[in-house]
């Protein structure tokens, strides 16, 4: 689709990384996921960013736009004045800090304003550890409600905040759209040890500012661990150079022995967080209240067992998931938390990891980023807007094919839910009989040149998924880790690779098929299923490629396959040139 026909969405942000916590993490993931939608052009407007961050964002088809310095104003308020050449159809704000600027942008630009809410300030004020916290929470609550009242649309993160703000906004009859974050795929590669050690290592992770100590339930965590002789608490979240102070507070207030306590500073680098998740046995989030609780979701995304407080958005979401309620604790008593920690620990590592994987897969079936973003974009399209540039137009041939109002490139069903789309395999009538072709559950087959090829079921409005892999389109940038020359870009084949070509590829790609599958949009659970259900590498690769071809249809082009093969994680430029070029 041409750039002029896309919705121009600008997200207001304080940073591209996660130094400031969960809101930044959510905002970055939201931008990345929205950018996968073919009708959306995404920019993030922020006070400062460096070239490395710009390059990182661009790989995900997101453009970072740095604000112009405004002397006399706080950095965050530089966002009130976006550049004149930044196109905006929708501006997305977050809370008071990143929402107040949106109202000024809307006054100066013909755009719509989507306001996200991440916290309930009034409830938070009840647990903050400083004088005047309740009064401050009340004032911030009024500001949040006032902003939501004048915004064009309101989105609440998770079921807990959705229920609260629907009540707060009843007076103005403002609807609240619920957006429940899905599994963070970046953590799915974390490898958990299959063997137990002699100690139960319990992780409590989050910002450990003094005012939030009780709110986050860190005292509950320390007292619970102190009651278990073989348990150690690893607290990650102390303010910089405040580790000693935090450790003393844990020891004096919670009576946890120093030999069973580790205090570390807040982790800003995502790769370091992955290491942390692989070091411990389980993560706990005993918050007395929590708007959602992304830290626990991140831990579960890494395959780590989690225990979370019931008064949180994540806790409420888990209770709607099969077997998820076993992870939710309805108590602030340290004894109850200690008993649950012991229960998880005594199951043995292999069993508890297996149970965690089942809960994670079930969660992914209920909530996933692709589905949530698709629904949000459809919601945005219903907001009246006089600018004809954001109306749906017929896309170009090289991008998508429009069928009954649904983009064909989005007709990948349930892959974000970790479901197994190729769990039943069928031997091909022609070719190598040792290689089996996939067959979808409930699908019909049609006979084509002697082979049984599944006929995809019609995609329902709720069966649409934005693929993990960025679709190549005219004018779009490459997501590969290797630069492609202009001559190569012009000579890549048009159309889609044939079954014969994909079969040839499956014979020669070897163990690199796994990384290729990841770049083509398959989740780790799906890749594991191909490996378990087939004996030979070529069978694994073949069934994965056939499943990709069937799911993507006309969007499974040579260009997409070329990008995937050239990606730095695959590194098979030789095969890209063999298959994707004349």
H or E segment to which residue 285 belongs: strand 282-285
pTM for the whole structure: 0.65
- pLDDT, tens only, 46-72: 999 999 999 999 999 999 999 999 998
Structure tokens at 393: 């137009």
DSSP for residue 555: G
Alpha-carbon span 146 to 576, nearest angstrom:
54
Contacts of residue 498, Cβ cutoff 8 Å, sequence gap at least 6: none
pLDDT, average across residues 100-126: 93
- pLDDT, tens only, 174-196: 999 999 999 998 888 888 877 77
pLDDT, average across residues 89-118: 94
Q: Which residue has the higher pLDDT, 528 or 149?
A: 149
Alpha-carbon span 232 to 249, nearest angstrom:
16
The residue to which tokens 């946890």 are assigned = 256
Q: Which residue has the higher pLDDT, 189 or 381?
A: 381
Give the range among 123-132, 461-470, 546-555 with minimum mean pLDDT. 461-470
369-381 vs 22-34: helix crossing angle, rounded to 10? 70
468 pLDDT higher than 50 = no
Res 274: pLDDT: 85
Percent of the residues in the chain that have a pLDDT greater than 70, as a whole number: 80
447 pLDDT higher than 90 = no
Res 380: pLDDT: 92
Alpha-carbon span 150 to 172, nearest angstrom:
10
Strand pairing report for 328-329 and 402-403: unpaired
571 pLDDT higher than 80 = yes
Q: Answer for the pair 27, 42: CB distance below 8 angstroms, yes or no.
A: no
Strand partners, 308: 285, 328
Q: Which residue has the higher pLDDT, 422 or 554?
A: 554
Alpha-carbon span 29 to 181, nearest angstrom:
9
Q: How many residues does the chain have?
A: 582
Structural domains in the chain plus CATH codes: 3-179 (3.40.50.2000), 185-366 (3.40.50.2000), 422-580 (1.10.533.10)
DSSP for residue 443: -
437 pLDDT higher than 50 = no
Task: Count helices and strands (H / E) in the chain.
Answer: 21, 19
- pLDDT, tens only, 152-180: 999 999 999 999 999 999 999 999 999 99
Res 241: pLDDT: 87
533 pLDDT higher than 80 = no
409 pLDDT higher than 70 = no
The edge-to-edge listing of strands for the beta sheet with 176-179 is 62-66, 40-46, 7-12, 90-94, 112-117, 153-157, 176-179
389 pLDDT higher than 70 = no
486 pLDDT higher than 50 = no
336 pLDDT higher than 50 = yes
Cα–Cα distance list, 505 to 168, 288, 561 (Å)? 57, 54, 11
Dump strand ranges (E) for 30-96. Answer: 40-46, 62-66, 90-94
219 pLDDT higher than 50 = yes
Rg (CA), the chain: 25
Q: Answer for the pair 317, 297: CB distance below 8 angstroms, yes or no.
A: no
- pLDDT, tens only, 241-289: 899 999 999 999 999 999 999 999 887 667 788 888 988 999 999 999 9
Alpha-carbon span 221 to 336, nearest angstrom:
11
Written in H, E and C, the secondary structure of 489-547 is HHHCCCCCCCHHHHHHHHHHCHHHHHHHHHHCCCCHHHHHHHHHHCCCHHHHHHHHHHH
396 pLDDT higher than 70 = no
Q: Which residue has the higher pLDDT, 461 or 580?
A: 580
Alpha-carbon span 383 to 450, nearest angstrom:
50
Q: Which residue has the higher pLDDT, 458 or 499?
A: 499
394 pLDDT higher than 70 = no
Percent of the residues in the chain that have a pLDDT greater than 90, as a whole number: 57
Give the range among 273-277, 446-450, 549-553 with minimum mean pLDDT. 446-450
Res 521: pLDDT: 84
Alpha helices in 389-523 (DSSP H): 486-491, 499-508, 513-519
The edge-to-edge listing of strands for the beta sheet with 282-285 is 261-265, 231-238, 200-205, 282-285, 306-309, 328-329
């Amino acid at each position: 689709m041409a750039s002029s026909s896309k919705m121009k969405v600008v997200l207001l942000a304080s940073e591209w990384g996660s130094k400031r916590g969960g809101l930044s993490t959510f905002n970055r993931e939201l931008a990345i996921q929205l950018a996968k939608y073919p009708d959306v052009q995404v920019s993030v407007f922020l006070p400062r960013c460096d070239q490395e961050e710009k390059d990182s964002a661009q790989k995900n088809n997101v453009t970072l736009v740095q604000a112009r310095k405004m002397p006399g104003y706080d950095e965050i308020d530089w966002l009130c004045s976006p550049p004149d050449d930044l196109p905006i159809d929708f501006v997305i704000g977050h809370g008071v800090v990143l929402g107040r600027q949106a109202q000024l942008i809307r006054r100066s630009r013909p755009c719509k304003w989507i306001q996200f809410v991440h916290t309930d300030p009034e409830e938070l004020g009840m647990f903050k550890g400083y004088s005047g916290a309740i009064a401050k929470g009340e004032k911030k609550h009024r500001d949040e409600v006032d902003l939501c009242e004048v915004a064009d649309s309101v989105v609440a993160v998770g079921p807990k905040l959705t229920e609260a703000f629907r009540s707060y906004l009843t007076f103005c009859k403002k609807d609240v759209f619920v957006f429940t974050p899905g599994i963070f795929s970046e953590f799915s590669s974390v490898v958990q040890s299959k063997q137990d050690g002699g100690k139960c290592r319990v992780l409590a992770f989050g910002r450990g500012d003094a005012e939030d100590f009780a709110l986050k339930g860190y005292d509950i965590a320390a007292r619970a661990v102190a009651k278990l002789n073989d348990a150690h608490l690893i607290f990650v979240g102390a303010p910089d150079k405040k580790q000693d102070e935090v450790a003393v507070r844990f020891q004096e207030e919670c009576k946890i022995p120093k030999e069973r306590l580790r205090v570390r500073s807040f982790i800003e680098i995502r790769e370091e967080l992955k290491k942390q998740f692989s070091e411990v046995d389980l993560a706990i989030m005993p918050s007395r209240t929590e708007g959602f609780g992304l830290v626990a979701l991140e831990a579960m995304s890494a395959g780590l067992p989690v225990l979370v407080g019931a008064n949180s958005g994540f806790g409420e979401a888990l209770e709607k998931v099969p077997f998820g309620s076993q992870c939710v604790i309805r108590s602030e008593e340290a004894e109850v938390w200690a008993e649950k920690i012991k229960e998880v620990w005594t199951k043995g590592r292999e069993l508890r990891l297996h149970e965690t994987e089942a809960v994670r897969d079930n969660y992914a079936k209920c909530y996933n980023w692709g589905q949530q973003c698709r629904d949000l974009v459809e919601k945005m399209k219903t907001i009246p807007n006089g600018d004809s540039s954001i109306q749906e137009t017929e896309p170009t041939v090289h991008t998508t094919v429009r069928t009954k109002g649904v983009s064909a490139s989005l007709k990948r069903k349930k892959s974000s839910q970790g479901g197994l789309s190729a769990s039943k395999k069928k031997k091909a009538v022609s070719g190598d009989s040792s290689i089996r072709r996939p067959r979808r559950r409930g699908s019909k087959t049609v006979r084509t040149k002697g082979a049984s090829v599944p006929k995809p079921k019609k995609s329902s409005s709720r069966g649409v998924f934005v693929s993990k892999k960025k679709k190549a389109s005219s004018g779009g940038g490459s997501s590969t880790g290797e630069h492609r020359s202009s001559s190569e870009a012009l000579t890549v084949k048009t159309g889609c690779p044939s079954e014969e070509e994909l079969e040839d590829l499956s014979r020669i790609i070897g163990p690199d098929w796994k990384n290729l599958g990841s770049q083509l949009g398959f989740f780790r659970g799906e890749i594991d299923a191909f490996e378990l259900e087939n004996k030979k590498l070529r069978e694994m690769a073949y069934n994965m490629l056939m499943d990709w071809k069937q799911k993507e249809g006309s969007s499974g082009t040579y260009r997409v396959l070329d990008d995937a093969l050239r990606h730095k994680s695959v590194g098979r430029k030789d095969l890209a040139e063999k298959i994707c070029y004349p």
